[in-house]
Structure 1
Amino acid sequence: MINEIKKINLNHSFIFFLFCNIISIIVFKTNNFSISPIACLILILIIGVSHGSLDHIKGRKLLKILDINKMSFFYLAYILFVIFIIVAWVLAPTISLLVFLIFASYHFGKEDTQFLMEKNSIKNQFFYFLKGSLVILAPMFFHFDETVAIYKFLFVENESFYLTLDYIESNNILLIGIILSTLSSVILFIKKFEIKKFAIFLDFFSIIIINYYFSPLIAFTIYFCFLHSIRHSISLIHEIDNFNFNNGLKIFLKKALPLTILTAILCLISVFFLNNSHSLNSSIYKVIFIGLASLTFPHILLEYLLEKNEK
């Protein structure tokens, strides 16, 4: 069954690689291809958010392990954590952004790669972080000013932070970070080599390609929706039904739909209210990234607690 998941994910990586090349050729030929921020938000709400919409099922499994019978405890803790992240971001946006970027790097690297690895050793955890950092570093490397503009939309106004970013950009530290990310991919690739590990390099080049040709928001949307989220959803579908993928997919969609719709409604309401004091694009950026941060932290914590207690 593990080999089947590896095969499916390899095919997914290959299809995503072809997709990235095709749309990049379209951009190169037309020279004016673009996707509006609202379209990016809709894609993230429909495809991206859904991969975390089964957290309540994982929460039920965790509570069962901890011998806690009330699901209300999980929902309350999850919602309070989400609110805490949003409040923390408003009060300390620079620190919140830095912590989010660090955790996101690890999360992206781990979720996109661990299905290929036999052990989650401490070394592998570190390599996951370096590999996932490409998602964070590539936009700054190829579109530095646009990435900085996004950070400013997220309430980050600390001048020292931006001076540090200018120093990093002007001294090729971003390039060094990308090289380290590349080396981590190589190390993960050659560890107990098998053909299915070519998914690592297909993903690597896909991320480079979309960040070279597209703006940071569009590149992130393509990656988050069509690589990261779909990959995580594949693992969830196999957890639901190990023997019949189509049946697992039907059950996954049915169970993911309610929380996906609820999250989408709350995000659109947030855009509406933020638009009263900010521009529409600014409001969308805030909802996408601060909203994702508020969902990512409890999602990562839940995965960690479940993995730790299952052991």
Structure 2
Amino acid sequence: MVTNTANSGNLLYWSSAGRSYQFTILVIACLALGGSFFLPVLSIEQQFWIVIVPIGVFGLSHGGADTSILKKLTATSKSNVLLLLLAYMLASLAFVALIWTLPLVALLVFLGMSVWHFGYTDEAFLSSERDLLLRCLSGSMAVLGPILGHPQQTSELFSWLIKIETSAVLDVLVWMGPLLAGLWLLGFAYMMLRKSNRPSLRVLAEWCLVGATLIVLPPLLSFAFYFCVIHSMRHFLAISEHCLLSNQKSLAKAFPARKIIPSTLGALVLAIVAWGIIVWIEPSPSLLTEAIRVMFWALAALTFPHAIIVRLWWDQRPAE
């Protein structure tokens, strides 16, 4: 489960930028936890309007370096870049087809892919070694938190995505949530008792504060907190530490706008067009429902190829 071979995650685990930002995560989590006690009960619609801009800005732009990653994977060969770019687009379209024909399967694949992708990014900042168990525990928190803390609203969101009754989804989540939480705690107990690569104090502090925040916040705010504050920013840090877009390691200078903005705007335009097409083909009495579908399914369609190429780039980097 754990290998002692040096890997590219070492650089990020020991980096001063990664450690400093982890402190920022803890501070934001504390503020979010404190603020949650004064937060009124928010409907899904209210949550949607709060998170749409952060998710659009941070969520979409964090994949803006994908074209540069493709170039790295193909040693700058233009023909190979075009082939990989075509494969990237076909993978997204294939996932859209899966959403259209088998939405339940698509949702399960999306959740599984998210856990894998989130965990792989977290692992580089939370462990100096490859650790499958740590990856699973950390990556699953963003999915498990809303299920445990707000099963009713989470069920409603899932039901909109797969177009079935909310009560049917809730019936599954009310027993699956505690079961998954029990498995998570068993994995955590094993990690604490094993002889090697036990989580450090800073990892435990992050898991406690972030886990509590993900449970307490309403589901869309919980997702936005993890996706924007933790995952996207850590992706930015990984890119800047490895000088993928710029030879500057400063986070503010590592992302030339000309390389990030076009792909981000393109993704936004595609999402808006997709929303219009869905509303035209399958009119719904609730535009909010369609907006939620477009937001999550657009992220899902982009996550599928994005997670794969990021993993390929991650594994091709020289050991630190």
Q: TM-score range by the shorter chain?
A: 0.7 to 0.9
1:207 aligns with 2:218: no
Identify which of 7, 25, 31 aligns with 1:16.
25
**How far, CA to CA, are the matches of 1:282 and 1:251 in structure 2?**
37
Query: What residue is the counterpart of 2:102 in the other structure?
Result: 92
2:6 — aligned with what? none
- Further displaced range: 11-20 or 110-119: 110-119
Task: Report the alpha carbon displacement of residue 301 of structure 1 after superposing the two structures with TM.
Answer: 1.4
1:156 CA displacement: 4.6
Choose 29-38 or 143-152, whichever is displaced more: 29-38
- What is the CA–CA distance in structure 2 between the aligned matches of 1:188 and 1:109, rounded to whole Å? 20
**From 181, 199, 202, the counterpart of 1:175:** 181
Give the residue type in structure 2 aligned to 1:294: A
Is residue 151–residue 174 contact of structure 2 (8 Å, CA) maintained in 1? no
**Conserved 8 A contact 2:114-2:139:** yes
Q: 1:149 to 1:117 in 2, by over 3 A?
A: same
Alpha-carbon distance, 1:17 to partner: 1.8
Q: Aligned residue for 2:147?
A: 140
Deviation for aligned residue 1:281: 2.1
The yes-or-no answer on 1:232 pairing with 2:235 is yes
Runs of 4+ displaced beyond 6 Å? 158-161, 187-190
Give the CA RMSD over aligned residues.
3.1
1:1-311 residue pairs with structure 2 within 5 A?
Answer: 2=11, 6-31=15-40, 36-64=47-75, 69-120=79-130, 124-157=131-164, 163-169=171-177, 172-180=178-186, 182-183=188-189, 186=192, 191=197, 197-240=200-243, 244-246=248-250, 249-254=252-257, 255-275=259-279, 277-278=283-284, 279-308=286-315
SS at 2:252 equivalent = helix
Counterpart code for 1:44 = I
Post-superposition shift, 1:125? Answer: 2.4
**Aligned counterparts of 2:315 and 2:35: Cα–Cα separation in 1:** 45
> Per the alignment, do residues 256 and 201 of structure 1 end up closer, same or farther by CA in structure 2, a change over 3 Å counting?
farther
Distance 2:291 2:122 in 1: 26
Q: TM-score, normalised by structure 1?
A: 0.83
Length, aligned pairs only:
301
Q: Given residue 261 of structure 2, which amino acid in structure 1 is its aligned partner?
A: L
Contact 1:137/1:174 (<8 A) preserved: yes
Q: Is 111-120 or 284-293 further displaced after alignment?
A: 111-120
For residues 28 and 189 of structure 1, the distance between their equivalents in structure 2, rounded to whole angstroms, comes to: 39
Structure 1 unmatched runs, 5+: none
Classify the secondary structure of the residue corresponding to 1:154.
helix
Contact 1:127 1:188 survives alignment (8 Å): no
* Contact 1:90–1:155 (CA under 8 A) maintained in structure 2: no
% identical aligned pairs: 22
- Indicate if the aligned counterparts of 1:127 and 1:184 stay in contact, CA closer than 8 A: no
What is the distance in 1 between the residues matched to 2:70 and 2:195?
Answer: 33
CA contact (8 A) 2:99 2:106 kept: yes
Q: Distance in 2 between matches of 1:206 and 1:60?
A: 38
1:128 is displaced (CA, Å) by 0.7
CA contact (8 A) 2:96 2:301 kept: yes
Question: Matches of 1:306 and 1:136 in 2, distance apart?
Answer: 25
2-structure distance, mates of 1:3, 1:149: 37
Contact 2:12/2:124 (8 A) holds in 1? no
Partner secondary structure for residue 263 of structure 2 = helix
Offset at residue 102 of structure 1 (A): 1.6
Question: CA contact under 8 A between 1:137 and 1:178: conserved in structure 2?
Answer: no
- TM-score normalised by length of structure 2: 0.81
Deviation at 1:79, TM superposition (A): 1.0
What's the CA shift for 1:273? 4.1
The amino acid across from 1:107 in the alignment is: H
Mark the CA change 1:243 to 1:12 in structure 2 (over 3 Å): closer, same or farther: same
The amino acid across from 1:64 in the alignment is: A
Aligned amino acid, residue 101 of structure 2: L
